[in-house]
Amino acid sequence: MYRAHIAKRHEPIRTDASLDQLVPKDHLVRKLDRHIDFSIVHRLCAPLYSNTGQPGIDPEILIKIILLGPLFNIRSVRQTIKEIETNLAYRWFLGLGMDEKIPDHSTISQAYRRRFAGTDVFRQIFEDIVGQAEAHGFISGRILITDSTHIRANANKKKFDKVEVEQVVGDVEDELLGRVNEERAKRGKKH
């Protein structure tokens, strides 16, 4: 019978396997690495970085960290950083070794606020990446459905206002429902 060995948790990891060998060949990050050219990041970000002082974090790493969140349904940059700490495939995608430090989540938000502020570099990079993803069939770009329910925050549980909210059905929802019903009718299904 196999038994857990709690003491093994504290042993150093010893392996002859490379990070490349440990990441599955069919993992999404490998497909992205094979098909998406991130060279635009360095080209557009070069003017935003100084050649003097401490070298900054590679902007390609920052962009890839930001991409990992929505690609793998990670809810925040803070959580994405936590996931990168333990996920070998993410480290491989970023080009970070097992012992390399991962940028802090605040570094990403500071890049938004300071380095990319007042520029459209971020938009250009993501439009390029989305264009490449479309060209390789990763995304179709035909339709986007979102749920954007807005709720007014009420932090004081002892004091609240009862407000009757009018439900508004937008034109987009009507159009989508119409398309769905048309498609169902074509297939002989009920509305």
pLDDT tens digit sequence for 41-59: 989 988 877 777 777 788 8
In the chain, the percentage of residues whose pLDDT exceeds 70 is 82
Contact between residue 96 and residue 102 where contact means Cβ atoms under 8 Å apart = yes
Query: CA-CA distance, 139 to 141, in Å (whole number)?
Result: 6
Please tell me the predicted confidence (pLDDT) of residue 58: 87
Across the chain, the runs of DSSP E, i.e. the strands, are none
Burial (CB count within 10 angstroms: exposed 0-12, middle 13-18, buried 19+), residue 124: middle
The SS3 call for residue 168 is: coil
Query: CA-CA distance, 78 to 74, in Å (whole number)?
Result: 9
Asked if pLDDT for residue 168 goes beyond 60, the answer is no
Nearby residues of 10 by Cβ (< 8 Å), 6 or more positions away:
none
The SS3 call for residue 43 is: helix
Please tell me the predicted confidence (pLDDT) of residue 51: 78
Nearest to 64 by CA among 88, 52, 81: 81
Summarised one tens digit per residue, pLDDT across range 86-109 is 999 999 999 998 888 999 888 888
Contact between residue 59 and residue 49 where contact means Cβ atoms under 8 Å apart = yes
CA distances for 166 relative to 22, 27, 175, 185, angstroms: 54, 46, 20, 31
What are the structure tokens assigned to 141, written together?
């770009």
Can you say whether the dihedral through the CA atoms of 150, 171, 142, 190 is positive or negative?
positive
In the chain, the percentage of residues whose pLDDT exceeds 90 is 36
